[in-house]
Structure 1
Amino acid sequence: MLYSRIIANVKSNTWFDHLPTEIIFLIFDYLSNNEIIHTFFFFSQRLNNLLLQNQYYSRYLELPTTYLTIWKNILSVISSQVEYLNITTIYLTLPLSIFSNLKSIIISSSYGFQKNNYN
């Protein structure tokens, strides 16, 4: 399984790893789901397990426009957990079919929509 190969390479021994789970979740309260997943998913085996067991953090994601290589690796593991997806780019580089449990898609653009005057 791809997940086990990716996670096998995750090695970390920091003080953050020794924090109680409750403190980690309090820290997560100050971050968006994207920030949590992007920053902590490959940080350590313990944090990967916490994030995978608490699917709250992967249920709603904004499709990233940067660091796509890292996000492709992350999404290869968690895409089936994503239920709500916000797409903010017109350059979609991932197929929506990888999100097998998708319930809602929000599409927004800073470019706006062209207004047609057919009166």
Structure 2
Amino acid sequence: MLSRRLAGLLIVSAAAVSAAGCVVEPPPRPRPRPVIYEAPPPPVVEVIAPQPPPPPIEEVIPPPRPGFIWARGYWHWNGHRYVGVGGHWETIRPGYHYVHPHWEQRGDGWHFHVGVWVNG
């Protein structure tokens, strides 16, 4: 009976010794996600010119380029006079069509419309 008691005591002692050496680690802290900062979109500014724009800009349109459309140049009103802005390539967006920059006359002057992609 002593050997049984001794064996039980040894088992309990071994369990206590092995448990004393255990370290319970806290769960890993979640890593913070990287924050991606982007420039805010420019504010929408409606440009109204008091006088009509000059005739369309005459520019040499480059040969077609697969996957792109040529956005024609236009006249920009800088607050005092019209300044020419050259054309550029726009990447084609399937399912959309491109409306080129243009001026529209209304009762209070000439309104500028930026080039945009329109669904359809």
TM normalised by structure 1 equals 0.19
**Higher alpha-carbon Rg:** 2
Greater per-residue strand proportion:
2
Greater per-residue helix proportion:
1
TM normalised by structure 2 equals 0.19
